[in-house]
Amino acid sequence: MKISKSSVDRAGEKLRQDKTDGIALDILAVWRNKHVYALDTAFKLLKRYTDKVGNNAIYGQRLKRVSSILHKLERLPKAQLSRLQDIGGCRVILSNYEKLRSLYIMLKKSKSVSQKHKDYITYPKKDGYRGIHLIYTYGSKNIEYSGLKIEFQLRTKLQHAWATAVEIIDSFEGEQLKLGKGSKKWLRFFYLVADEFASFEQLPLHDNTIENRLNEIKQLCKDLKVIDKLQGYPKVIEKVSGNKNEANFFILLLDTRQVQIYIRSFKNSDDAQDFYIKQEKNYINDPSINVLMVKMDSIKKIKKSYPNYFADSKIFLEQLNIILAK
């Protein structure tokens, strides 16, 4: 199905007014699906450069969730749906900042990567988020696909652990910390811990004037019962369908109310995409259900790249306990 960018933008405007508009959601789905080929090409380039760093990296590639797209359109009222640069995204998690920086320098030299980069490590986000984002532009002789944008996210293992913990709290506590909303105590806790994690990696702090950061983290940890909550979430029950041994695509459906994750595998991209949008439409008004489509060749790798869907905060808790022991 061919669609024009103007029709995509009109669909975006309709979804700002009514996120359940069926026709607009179908147009959004078609537009998102066009990014699959660009996503695959971008991932191959990212992996080729990462291999040069000589690091046993963790990878992920996904199509952005409808709920995340709608949140972005709401947050950025002047943004056009056809111009969003992170409909498709590739993630790479490296063991340390030195290797991440080497990869970043190499990617900046690629003709396919925009010179407009977001270095959230040197200049962290106000909530404490750290990572480096770059935009890849897909080149194709087919005008229908040429120019599509894919976002690269580069993180260290520790930065990824922090981001994972934020997403777990959002999912299981009903917060919206990732969107800059939610409880002030939770926001403050993760902001302070992000700086402490940065000090572990000898990276710039967001605020080096806070005198009692450790004491404040300890008090917030106690008030919020952080460790009890992260350790106490029941083990997520996995229910897998489809032939996972021949799968290229997986749809994850996390039900935080039932504490279950339903995983369905697909060999064919079109079948996966059709199932993806159907599930998103079904649960668009249910905040307890999170749906995600990823391209991966095993569930084991998914757990490493997207541990938040499995309530896995092990690395975050290990580092938090080091802070609390000071």
Q: What is the pLDDT of residues 161-209, one digit of tens each?
A: 999 999 999 999 999 899 888 899 999 999 999 999 999 999 999 888 8
Is 217 found in the same domain as 141? no
pLDDT at 179: 86
Structural domain span for residue 274: 237-305
Is 245 found in the same domain as 260? yes
Question: Do 198 and 130 form a contact (C-beta atoms < 8 A)?
Answer: yes
Domain boundary among 123, 156, 189: 156
Q: Are strands 132-137 and 149-156 parallel, antiparallel or unpaired?
A: antiparallel
Q: Which of 91, 140, 137 is nearest to 111 (CA)?
A: 137
Tokens describing residue 320: 């938090």
Neighbour-count burial for 209-240, b at 16+ CB within 10 Å, e otherwise: eeeebeeebeebbeebebeeebeebeebeeee
Domain count for the chain, please give it.
3
Is 152 found in the same domain as 24? yes
Rounded average pLDDT per 10-residue block, the chain, 326 residues:
88 95 95 94 95 89 94 92 95 96 95 92 95 94 87 97 96 90 94 96 89 94 96 86 83 93 93 95 94 92 93 96 93
CATH number of the domain at 17, please. Answer: 3.30.460.10
pLDDT at 234: 79
pLDDT at 194: 97
Is 185 found in the same domain as 147? no
pLDDT at 16: 94
